[in-house]
Structure 1
Amino acid sequence: MSTPRIGYLAGTAAGLVLAAAVGFGVARMTAPAPAAAPAATPTAAKTAAPAESQSVPMTEEQVKVSEIQVQPAAAGGIEAETITTATVTAAPDGLAVLTAHAPGTITRIHKRIGEAVRAGDVIAEVEGREVATLAADRAAAQAKATQARQQAAREKSLFDQGVSPRQDLEAAQAAAEAAEAELRRAIASAGAARLASDGRSIQVVSPIDGRVTTVSASLGAYVQAESELFRVADPARTQIEATVPADAASRLRGGDRATITTGDGRTLDAHVLSLTPGVNRETLQATALLALDQPAEGLLPGQHVRATLFTAKETAGDRVTVPTIAVQTIAGREVVFLRTKEGFTAQPVTLARRSGDLVELSGGLKAGQRIATINSFLLKAELGKAEVEE
């Protein structure tokens, strides 16, 4: 083939390649863009999660081991609460002041401070001149009563035989009754003074169960009658005295619900027993007397605690109040863990406001429903662990 012919064919081929390239570019520019495939979002994935993933199965034993505290949600808003300091005191029947009922010398001390005692236990013994007098009066009264009874019996026998007149019988019977009355007085006096059966000492006796909290007696010391020697307190019989501002006291009533928070973080249910009818002129505060709903160990007279008092008549609609530690955040939502038969369920709630250690809820929970408070974060962690495993 000649050289001109080859050049012509090469030029024609180059033109065809260039035309094809131009046509492909135009087609790419004018073709419609394909629709993008929808990407799965984390929110969609969470929505698709099964409902049971929001529950944490847990037995009662596991709850105890985990030290998860459960308490009911309180009715009313934060404005219906009064948070104040309080002091644990002994109940009127839970504290006994022990004294000697006659002057004398302390000859024996049977109990030391901190030791447990039972009602009727002898704590100490006192001997003295008046102790001896009490014993002598009782013995003399017993002798007179015995003599008077015998004399009345003889007069009765003589009267029945017709030897003695009725006047002598009646006089003997009257003397016997007087002697019996004197004996009863002497026995009562000796008993009130706790005179020992041997008549040598009077006994200082505890009237209640408890522990010796104060000792002001010394062996061999001379004490006056009714001087305080010991104090015995029963830790199971305590009450709480809370100071409240005057405006809060005017709203409180006996029976209103309260909670007590101890230094170790325990929350104990209580209620208002009574309030002072007036306020202190210096502090402008009243005193509310609280009682625990259930006996609690570890509360001792003199211990300081925090009291939260709920005013029953001031309920903010359907709002409830829970401790701040009960509210957890999961996937951007606030929840509380509701106690169920099987364990706990994450219950979404709506927060209205916060105040200190309390949170007011405007939705998602009803008053009285039992929720996890202390260590509720363990349930959140367990729930997160379950979601990762799925």
Structure 2
Amino acid sequence: MQTLTRKRIISWLHLLILATSFGWVVASADEEAHSEEGHITLTPEQVKHAGITLDRVGPASIRETLPLYGQVVPNALRQQAVSARFPGVIKSVAKQVGDAVQRGETLATVESNESLKSYPVVASLDGVVAQRSANVGEQTDGRTLFVIGDYSTVWVELAVFPADLSKVHVGQPVRIETRDATVTGKGKIIAILPVGSSTNQTTTARVLLDNPDRQWIPGHFITAEVFLSEAVVATVIQDKAIQIIEDESVVFVAGDEGFEPRPVILGRSDGQVSEVLEGLRAGEAYVSTNSFTLKSELGKEDLEHDD
């Protein structure tokens, strides 16, 4: 049986307190784990090493969400394309791609073709040099010499398929997560773009996302959850308590005779908790952590009976 970290292993004394609180009886230390009339009993040592903990069926809020995929892009309202005011020759370049700049800081110096006087090309916002196409000795020719981006905020563009479009609205909160789930953030939908994609028939929902630490990199793909609704449900359990046994959702209920595997019918879920429609009553104690241990013990009993 798997041994868990010390942090997650409850002491036997704590276990006895839980047993008293929940009206739960376990086997004595010198008894083996066994199943009797559909109930499983474990020795205190087995329970201790399995890190089994209990919770009670009760009310909780369940949020309905819509999972979507998308991409981080620059906030176009916080970008500046910098060109020279007058045609001329580039005499010096002060900034490179990736350099931080402040508003009013010189990016390059240009000598005017008409007056032959030099003047500075400056940034008009704080940010980072995202592009540079200025080299000493070149003519400016009215082209863009630098692109400055302020990435303290970014946009996230979510692809919404036609079947889901009616569910998405401006102002809805959105949870954003990197593909490796190492960075999360929250924003709100600020626009539903009027023109869709002819390639995959999706419509873009745009989210404004704060990015003070520049963890969100334009060009990177993300996953998102749009919050649609929230409801308080009377009978809710943690999803990690649910085991699948013979194609049924089962929760292990703690009682006087041990642990009873109880089939349940589930309703709404937000990925963390689920509504119980049938099989459990409000207030009942159930195994919320490491219920897979009990499923394993149940499987052992089935093998012994087959023999």
Secondary structure at the aligned position of 2:114 is classed as helix
Contact kept? 2:236, 2:276, Cα under 8 Å? no
1:284 alignment counterpart: 201
Amino acid at match of 1:90: P
Question: What is the alpha-carbon distance in structure 1 between the residues aligned to residue 123 and residue 234 of structure 2?
Answer: 50
Question: What is the alpha-carbon distance in structure 1 between the residues aligned to residue 90 and residue 154 of structure 2?
Answer: 31
Amino acid at match of 1:292: L
Question: What is the alpha-carbon distance in structure 2 between the residues aligned to residue 262 and residue 98 of structure 1?
Answer: 32
Question: What is the alpha-carbon distance in structure 2 between the residues aligned to residue 267 and residue 74 of structure 1?
Answer: 20
The answer as to 2:68 corresponding to 1:84 is yes
The answer as to 2:169 corresponding to 1:253 is yes
Contact kept? 2:190, 2:207, Cα under 8 Å? yes
2:113 to 126, 129, 139: 129
Cα 1:274–1:330 change in 2 (3 A) is closer
Cα 1:130–1:86 change in 2 (3 A) is farther
Secondary structure at the aligned position of 1:290 is classed as strand
Give the aligned length.
219
1:318 to 220, 224, 233: 233
Question: Residue deviations 1:25-50, cap 9 Å, x none?
Answer: xxxxxxxxxxxxxx76764878xx9x
Alignment of 1:132-143 (within 5 A): 132=116
Larger Cα Rg: Structure 1 or Structure 2?
A: 1
2:102 to 88, 109, 118: 118
Unaligned runs of 5+ in 2: 1-26, 29-33, 35-39, 55-59, 244-249, 253-263, 278-287, 294-307
Contact kept? 1:260, 1:308, Cα under 8 Å? yes
1:328 alignment counterpart: 240
Contact kept? 1:104, 1:224, Cα under 8 Å? yes
1:6 alignment counterpart: none
Cα 1:380–1:209 change in 2 (3 A) is farther
Cα 1:102–1:289 change in 2 (3 A) is same
Alignment of 1:267-282 (within 5 A): 267-282=184-199
The alignment's TM-score, normalised by the length of structure 2, stands at 0.58
Identity between Structure 1 and Structure 2 (%): 24
Secondary structure at the aligned position of 1:222 is classed as coil
2:300 alignment counterpart: none
Cα 1:131–1:307 change in 2 (3 A) is farther
Alignment of 1:373-388 (within 5 A): none
Cα 1:263–1:282 change in 2 (3 A) is closer
Contact kept? 1:246, 1:279, Cα under 8 Å? no
Amino acid at match of 2:155: Q
2:63 alignment counterpart: 75
Measured on the aligned residues, the alpha-carbon RMSD in Å equals 4.2
The structure whose residues are more often strand, as a share, is 2
Cα 1:333–1:321 change in 2 (3 A) is closer
Amino acid at match of 1:263: R
